[in-house]
Structure 1
Amino acid sequence: MRNHMIRKASALFLSLTTLYLFASCGSKKGEATRIVPIGILLPESGRSETQSVRGLRDGLKELGYNEEENILLEMRDAKGDRGALKSMADELVSKKIHLIFTTGTRATQAAMAATSKTPIVFRHPADPVALGLVKSMKRPGGNVTGVAALALQVTENRLEVLKQVVPGVRRVHIFYASNDKFSHENFAFTSKLAEKLGLEVVEHGIKSGDELKKSFDNLQTEEGDALFHIPDDLVESEADFIFQTARQKKLPTMFNEEPWAIKGALAAYGPSYYEMGRQAAGLVDKILKGQKPENLPVELARKFDLIINMRTVNTIGLTVPPEVLKKADKVIR
């Protein structure tokens, strides 16, 4: 009984403290306004990260939070240096910020390693449960919650979109790192879905960038072929080579995020990271107003975008149905 009352008193104190912090945001002229620091931890400055942060900023502004007035965003960007994430996460925690916003797996793991108390809100393209970031989507547990796109689970939609963009597609080539457990599982999952949709699958398991280049150079393509991308670090590290060689072979390419279409893929279908950032702002708002991350369900990305690169379309001599072009969220010309 005594422990129960202590817990209730502690919860009441936390709620009153939070209300005090944000009541001051609407204080009268002449009264001090408490500025609440929020950390942002990024693994790099790619387009997906900048779009996520822009969405977060816009979402917070819509909810009444203004930088330098009632919130302060402490940005930390590792610029691709994985080793820097740990020290940056530790630094943010030492500054006693109220919350950390992260993008992707590595930044979220670094923040989790740095603190088990400071709330963490992530923006993640895949399944946070499978990656061990949360216990479940409905009840995350711990100090972590966020917005997830469940990229693997929308693979069937992406295959269907490929069939719309390239109506004559009959066979898909899938490259993946054969010594990576997750990539191997992703391939098996995608292969079953493709066959379910009547597509033949050609497997290309590779172990290095050089092997990928050699295999792709020697690839014999036929009419009705396309390359279908599944998330894989090794394959993505050779994206520029893949796009250039695919154009030479007049091979349509379907990737999973807008940046790949901008770089040269024929099409991409994936989550809008801007909208995911705006969704994350809603979770930040709830936490700052007293709710606990452990009780806030992980939200699913609400918007997915189709991007078509007409430069690539024209280069390989493909005709995309007009009705599909009209449905595209972005057409690169």
Structure 2
Amino acid sequence: MPKRIILLIIVIFLSGTLLLWRGESEANQSQLYTIGVLSANDMRLAKLEGLREGLKKLGYIENINVEFAIVNAQGDREKLRETAQDLIDRQPSLIIAMGGVEADILKTLTVTQPIPVIFAGVALPLERGLIIDYQFPGGNLTGIDNLQSELAGKRLEYLSLLLPSVKRVLVIYDPQVPSGHLSITRVEKEAQKLGVEISLVPALRLEEIEETLDKVENRFDGIILLPSYNWETNPSIETLGLNRKIPIVGLYEPEMARGFLLSYGPSYYNQGLQTATMVAKVLRGQDPGKIPIETAYSLDFVINLDVAEKLNLDINPQALGLADRVIPKGGELHR
């Protein structure tokens, strides 16, 4: 066959492939996807920044080929179910659950309306019944395991490293949180390893913590809050540590602004950023039940030196070198 004919065939093939690719690309650009977002409170909406940034990098730009339908229960747990149903009734392309309580409700409500659901950070999705397997979740849910239950022991370790004088720690857990048992196990093992005495107290209200602190004869050297929706929505927790002169260990970076000494866990921004890749997979036609669960790929250790000064704490300077971020005395967050 003459070379000229062969070249002509190659050109025709490549041109056809290019036109097909452009056609698919233009079709994706012309289709407007609606992404539902269900949040239980204002704090969890901080994940939206990373989500939007991640989607933009993947070619999904707000008001061009994607739009968001965002609903927020404003910390009202009773309202959350009604809010979730209203969002489902809008028939979005998919729904993002901003946390565990949102994912639990969507799991129930989408049984008869199987809209794809992606959870942007949940503790123990298998144990709480959201999925049947990490590699093949099944059903209509997939998402990010934020490892919050597994990190409880590490938070105690960081508290002890930051304050070597710590000997007695109050550990507050929410009896309504399904993943609480693993957090307790992890913190108990770490306490035994460090030689730290811990007191486990179930609490749903700040008053219950206050009562515990009033009853004890010997002062606690620190308080660790295990994962709980209740503390995210309780503004009174902000003053507990400062008023009692006890350092509090939290889960997320935003809690540093609430008067906590340190936090260790995945940032809201990174959870949103990581979720964006899973959203893109679903929008491109993949079955969420066949998209493997991902674990949070970034964990941040944040120290608040402003709180340390207000509590008159003697901080171990070597621990500062391990921090991913530090809030200086009287200053803003250093990255």
**One fold, TM greater than 0.5?**
yes
Shift, 1:244, TM fit: 3.7
Residues 157 and 190, structure 2, Cα contact 8 Å, conserved in 1: no
Measured in 1, the distance between the counterparts of 2:309 and 2:244 equals 13
Shift, 1:276, TM fit: 0.9
Correspondence for 1:163: 160
Residues 220 and 261 of structure 1: CA distance in aligned 2, closer, same or farther (over 3 Å): farther
Residues 144 and 235 of structure 1: CA distance in aligned 2, closer, same or farther (over 3 Å): closer
Which sits farther off after the overlay, 176-185 or 273-282?
176-185
Which of 118, 123, 135 is the equivalent residue of 2:115?
Answer: 118
Correspondence for 1:60: 55
Which structure has the greater CA radius of gyration?
2
Residue 72 (1) aligns with residue 67 (2): yes
Which of 214, 236, 240 is the equivalent residue of 1:240?
Answer: 236
Q: Give the unaligned 5+ runs of structure 1.
A: 1-18, 27-32
Identity across matched positions, percent: 30
Correspondence for 1:24: 27
Correspondence for 2:149: 152
Residues 245 and 311, structure 2, Cα contact 8 Å, conserved in 1: yes
Residue 229 (1) aligns with residue 232 (2): no
Residues 124 and 179, structure 2, Cα contact 8 Å, conserved in 1: no
Shift, 1:89, TM fit: 2.9
Correspondence for 1:308: 303
Residues 40 and 98, structure 2, Cα contact 8 Å, conserved in 1: yes
Residues 129 and 218 of structure 1: CA distance in aligned 2, closer, same or farther (over 3 Å): same
Residues 41 and 233, structure 2, Cα contact 8 Å, conserved in 1: no
Residues 85 and 109, structure 2, Cα contact 8 Å, conserved in 1: yes
> Which whole-Å deviations, capped at 9, do the CAs of 1:251-299 have from their partners, x for residues lacking one?
3222222232210111111111111111110001111112111111111
Matches within 5 A, 1:1-333: 23-26=26-29, 33-46=30-43, 49-116=44-111, 117-177=114-174, 183=180, 186-205=183-202, 209-221=206-218, 225-232=221-228, 240-241=236-237, 244-332=239-327, 333=331
Q: Give the unaligned 5+ runs of structure 2.
A: 1-21
Equivalent pairs, count:
305
Which sits farther off after the overlay, 113-122 or 189-198?
189-198
The alignment partner of 1:142 has SS state of coil
> Which whole-Å deviations, capped at 9, do the CAs of 1:8-57 have from their partners, x for residues lacking one?
xxxxxxxxxxx98754135xxxxxx22111111111211xx222111111
Residues 221 and 249, structure 1, Cα contact 8 Å, conserved in 2: no
Give, as a single letter, the amino acid of the residue that structure 2 aligns with 1:305: D
Give, as a single letter, the amino acid of the residue that structure 2 aligns with 1:24: A
Shift, 1:166, TM fit: 1.3
Normalising by structure 2, what TM-score? 0.80
> Which whole-Å deviations, capped at 9, do the CAs of 1:172-192 have from their partners, x for residues lacking one?
222335687754664344223
Normalising by structure 1, what TM-score? 0.81
Measured in 2, the distance between the counterparts of 1:139 and 1:70 equals 29
> Which whole-Å deviations, capped at 9, do the CAs of 1:101-130 have from their partners, x for residues lacking one?
111122223322332421110012411112
Give, as a single letter, the amino acid of the residue that structure 1 aligns with 2:301: L
Shift, 1:76, TM fit: 1.4
Residues 275 and 138 of structure 1: CA distance in aligned 2, closer, same or farther (over 3 Å): same
Measured in 1, the distance between the counterparts of 2:74 and 2:140 equals 26
Shift, 1:324, TM fit: 2.7
Correspondence for 1:29: none
Residues 233 and 283 of structure 1: CA distance in aligned 2, closer, same or farther (over 3 Å): closer
Residues 148 and 252 of structure 1: CA distance in aligned 2, closer, same or farther (over 3 Å): same
Residues 175 and 235, structure 1, Cα contact 8 Å, conserved in 2: no
Measured in 2, the distance between the counterparts of 1:159 and 1:110 equals 31
Structure 1 vs Structure 2 CA RMSD: 2.8
Give, as a single letter, the amino acid of the residue that structure 2 aligns with 1:141: G
Correspondence for 2:11: none
